[in-house]
Structure 1
Amino acid sequence: MSATDRMRRLGAVARSAPAILAVGALGIAGIALAADAARVDETQVVSLLKTRLPKTELTKVDCKKIDGLCEVTAGSNLFYVNHGSRYLIIGRVYDMETRQDLTAARLLEINPDMLVGGAARANAAADEAGSPDAGIAGVASGAKKVTVPAKPAALNLTSLPADGAIVWGNRSAKHTVTVFTDFRCSYCRALTNVLRSMEVKVVERPISVLGSRDIADRVYCSKNQEEALHAAYAGEPFKAPSPCNTAGLDANEKFARKHGLNGTPIIVRSDGEVIEGYRPKEFLEAWLKGATS
């Protein structure tokens, strides 16, 4: 290689060096930003919120649940802010991988009595106007409290046939819970996810409140009912089964009409005690332990 060629090659390397350094700098900057996001100081977020929303009594700030956002609860109200606490966000957050409405599920944990007929008015704040610091009430609550119609305090399930029940969970568990559900009810799906995380035997009895009988038939007739049930709630396809005898599902519907169960989910403990609507894991675990023999 001639001296001239060597000089040209060295010049090319020298010219490319800034670009290489720039790429490296960008990579380091990206790592630093990611690390900075991971180290978000919730105490600082709380401090900024107290300054910017002095009339709002904060209950909890959680910056770890959702990337880039801090979930803020203030009593029975829920909203979000960015890590710098500059932007306040009132609305729903959906997880597109799990197909879950994270806001609705969280609101039901905070306000378990906000259900009516299985249709919670979660996050109605998106349609409302108001000052972001009017205690956040009525704006960031994401829900309107409603009066729940009277339902039986207890149910005797002995008249129901074994057919029509989809049994899943831990079949040898100490506690058994019966749930009347609808496959198009998002709060039934949320409840199912909670029950999956518990040591409990679940006897699920689908009823068609929201026009889901076709789904219930397919799940019930599936070879693996439990697998089909979870696929149906997740909105995932499952193999279409051959038709089967669904008289048990008819019995579920008849029982629900007779006892005024016109909403879902309805949860029945082994001793017959009834609660309506979604409940968080901690509540259900304590409630199940209170069953009388």
Structure 2
Amino acid sequence: MAGKDEAKVSLLLKTRLPKTPLTKVDCEKIDGLCEVTAGANLFYVNHGARYLIIGRVYDMETRQDLTAARLLEINPDMLVGGAAKANAVAAEGGEADGATTPVGKPGKVTAPVRPVVLNLSGLPSDGAIVWGNRTAKQSVTIFTDFRCGYCRALTNVLRGMDVKVVERPISVLGSRDIADRVYCSKNQEQALHAAYAGEPFKGPTACDTKGLDANERFAREHGLNATPIIVRGDGAVLEGYRPKEFLEAWLRGGQS
């Protein structure tokens, strides 16, 4: 039945969105909806392909953002930007070619513009998990998600560097429950690395997690919708994973 639905939806979308080359239609993942990928773009339609839906699908049982997880699979560098571009494609029947949507053009929906420099002074000390060499000359702040594979890779790189890491978890992929447990752990650093490795760690008692709320609020206000985000001491921002040699040179570049 699912195969018939997908064929029907594909045919209808070719008629209704003729300039959008479809990559895949999947009507089995989410009850009542068909997930449609067009290159790096993602959107949803009902099984009759009459209603097109732009936005996030969140599984309340598993507490996972299914849309963000799928976008990460499609294109790790875009994460949430694809949904916004799909909105513009659907609204205008245009090409889903992955080109950047011009900011401010009427009728277009764009992803939040992420800053080149971030001022972190408005963030409270709460909400940060500090690890690495706490007495190191160099420090770096990272915004991460415990379900993000690139965040795990980045933390593994930073563990091998002489650097103080200030990690601020944000829930892009529905990982707030993990962040709460890590943050409330007696040994936060140990719990953090165990969480990334998928290893069990001692279940802590509940604690005040308002600092994590502040991280989430700061991320929303500044358009930090992808992880990891790396912030140097002078506020310079990098988005995404970087290897050790690159990070070492980049961090040295921020020294006065």
TM-score range, shorter chain: 0.5 to 0.7
Indicate conservation of the 8 Å contact 1:115/1:146, yes or no.
no
Where does 1:1-293 land on structure 2 (aligned, <5 Å)?
115-117=77-79, 150-293=113-256
Distance change in 2, residues 1:114/1:147 (3 Å): farther
- In structure 1, list runs of 5 or more residues that go unmatched: 1-112, 120-144
Which has the greater radius of gyration? 1
Partner Cα distance (1:249, 1:173) in 2: 25
Distance change in 2, residues 1:118/1:289 (3 Å): farther
Amino acid at match of 1:191: L
Distance change in 2, residues 1:179/1:118 (3 Å): farther
Cα deviation, residue 180, structure 1: 0.2
Q: Secondary structure at the match of 2:251?
A: helix
Partner Cα distance (2:170, 2:145) in 1: 6
Cα deviation, residue 151, structure 1: 1.6
Q: Secondary structure at the match of 1:288?
A: helix
Partner Cα distance (1:186, 1:277) in 2: 11
Cα deviation, residue 117, structure 1: 3.0
Distance change in 2, residues 1:210/1:196 (3 Å): same
Indicate conservation of the 8 Å contact 1:118/1:265, yes or no.
no
Q: Secondary structure at the match of 1:275?
A: strand
Indicate conservation of the 8 Å contact 1:118/1:187, yes or no.
no
Amino acid at match of 2:146: F
Q: Secondary structure at the match of 1:156?
A: coil
Q: Secondary structure at the match of 1:180?
A: strand
Cα deviation, residue 289, structure 1: 0.2
Amino acid at match of 1:175: Q
Partner Cα distance (2:241, 2:217) in 1: 23
Instruction: Report the number of matched residues.
Output: 158
Distance change in 2, residues 1:147/1:223 (3 Å): farther
Amino acid at match of 1:116: M
Amino acid at match of 1:223: K
Q: Secondary structure at the match of 1:190?
A: helix
Cα deviation, residue 159, structure 1: 0.4
Partner Cα distance (1:269, 1:243) in 2: 31
Distance change in 2, residues 1:114/1:171 (3 Å): same
Indicate conservation of the 8 Å contact 1:164/1:205, yes or no.
yes
Q: Deviations over 1:44-94 (max 9, x none)?
A: xxxxxxxxxxxxxxxxxxxxxxxxxxxxxxxxxxxxxxxxxxxxxxxxxxx
Cα deviation, residue 192, structure 1: 0.5
Q: Secondary structure at the match of 2:214?
A: helix
The residue number in structure 2 matching 1:95 is none
Partner Cα distance (2:170, 2:248) in 1: 25
Q: Deviations over 1:4-51 (max 9, x none)?
A: xxxxxxxxxxxxxxxxxxxxxxxxxxxxxxxxxxxxxxxxxxxxxxxx
